[in-house]
């Protein structure tokens, strides 16, 4: 029997996190912005899975902004390098959430 095509897609998410004990953020940081690639049948599922995984990692998600799928981003004119596409492919292949970048916030 041929394998049924997956309905999973990969969504680009920007997640703002606050501080919690054991979150692994640098000393003095007030939080961070995380760029994530998350698989899901729709963006809502990708957001739910990402928030759940970040909570398991002892992080405190505060806000999530969705930037859509690869196709949606390309149609909006985004330039998406091969490295980023590779991480998206990995998220889809592994049905997972990939944290591609973490930028800590510091107060002045």
Q: Answer whether residue 2 shows pLDDT above 90.
A: no
- Structure confidence at residue 91 as a pLDDT band (50, 70, 90): very high
**What pLDDT does residue 3 have?**
58
Query: Could you give the strand order of the β-sheet that contains 9-18, starting from the edge strand earlier in sequence?
Result: 60-69, 9-18, 29-40, 97-106
**What pLDDT does residue 16 have?**
98
With CA atoms as reference, report the closest residue to 23 among 104, 96, 107. 104
With CA atoms as reference, report the closest residue to 51 among 37, 64, 70. 64
């Amino acid at each position: 029997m041929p394998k049924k095509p997956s309905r999973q897609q990969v969504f680009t998410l920007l997640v703002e996190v606050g501080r919690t004990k054991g979150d692994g953020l640098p000393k003095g940081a007030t939080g961070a912005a995380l760029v994530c690639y998350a698989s899901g049948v729709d963006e809502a599922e990708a957001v739910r899975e990402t928030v759940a995984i970040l909570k398991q990692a002892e992080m405190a998600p505060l806000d999530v902004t969705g930037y859509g799928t690869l196709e949606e981003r390309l149609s909006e004119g985004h330039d998406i390098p091969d490295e980023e596409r590779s991480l998206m492919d990995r998220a889809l292949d592994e049905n997972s959430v990939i944290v591609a970048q973490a930028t800590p916030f510091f107060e002045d």
